[in-house]
Amino acid sequence: MKRFSVPLVLFLTVLLSAPGAVGAPPPAGPAVALLSKVILEVVRKEAGKNWEKAVRGQTLASGDMLRTGPGALAIIKFKDNSLVRLREKSELTVTGKQTGNSLSKSVEITTGVVGFNVQKQRAGEEFRFTSPTSVASIRGTAGMLNSTPGADTLTVTDGTVMLSNKRSSRTVDVSSGFTGISNGDGTLQVRPSTPREQRSALEALRDDQRKRLEIELRDPQGKTNRLKIEYNE
């Protein structure tokens, strides 16, 4: 029978109970937001855990991830009342850094579309979106960011956003009524938004998901017409 000395037993006990010990999940980050609305398939992943069903009212800690399925919507409300609407088939990670009474927020978009209403930030605070291609620094703004592999499209409906390209380090201001496009090859451009882009941005700011039903109608003369009906999920 093997015997262990008391110092060795104490050493193993302290080692296995210490933060970061083998098998122990990483500590959760500070709470930065909550889920104010969840529609259809939305899943959440805490650091060191598996994906699980997201529920309205859940707190989101720094490092938490969210993902939406087809037709789904998740609305994230931050402590400063800023709102981020994660549209269908999208994924992001929320992070926050507390410095005294100031909280700087960051939303890392892996892919997909977000609509945002960001409150004016206090001194010492910031709110920004990041993607593999770009960084968008928000100053108290509303709009939509669409992130796809190799390109980001930012349409602003209110205020101004500073958009930076990670590869070229170029930076431009995108104001209300304009669209900024940041590409994986380092190019960056700003132009007036098209009517379609403005409509898409306003749609991304809605608090529900609207579905479109198309019905084909045929009159007695054999002529066909399509009837389009929009409805809430």
| Residue 81 confidence (pLDDT) | 87
Residue range 54-88, pLDDT digits in tens = 999 999 999 999 999 999 999 999 988 889 999 99
In whole angstroms, give the CA distance from residue 178 to residue 156: 6
Could you tell me the two tokens for 158?
Answer: 């209110």
Is there a contact between 149 and 111 (Cβ–Cβ < 8 Å)?
yes
| Residue 86 confidence (pLDDT) | 94
Could you tell me the two tokens for 150?
Answer: 């190799």
Residue range 176-211, pLDDT digits in tens = 999 999 999 999 999 999 999 999 999 998 876 545
| 3-class secondary-structure state, position 90 | coil
Could you tell me the two tokens for 156?
Answer: 């602003």
pLDDT at 48 over 50: yes
Helices (H) and strands (E) in the chain, counts: 2, 19
pLDDT at 133 over 80: yes
The residue with tokens 């399925």 is: 69
**What is the rounded average pLDDT of the residues 40-55?**
92
Domain boundaries along the sequence of the chain:
25-135+196-232
Residue range 49-62, pLDDT digits in tens = 999 999 999 999 99
pLDDT tier at 215 (50, 70, 90 boundaries)? low
Instruction: Render 196-221 in DSSP notation, one character per residue.
Output: HHHHHHHHHTSSS-EEEEEEEEE-TT
pLDDT tier at 226 (50, 70, 90 boundaries)? low
Geometric angle at alpha carbon 111, from 109 and 114, rounded to 5°: 60
Could you tell me the two tokens for 17?
Answer: 């109970």
The answer, as to whether pTM is greater than 0.85, is no
In whole angstroms, give the CA distance from residue 232 to residue 229: 10
Helices (H), the chain: 6-17, 195-204
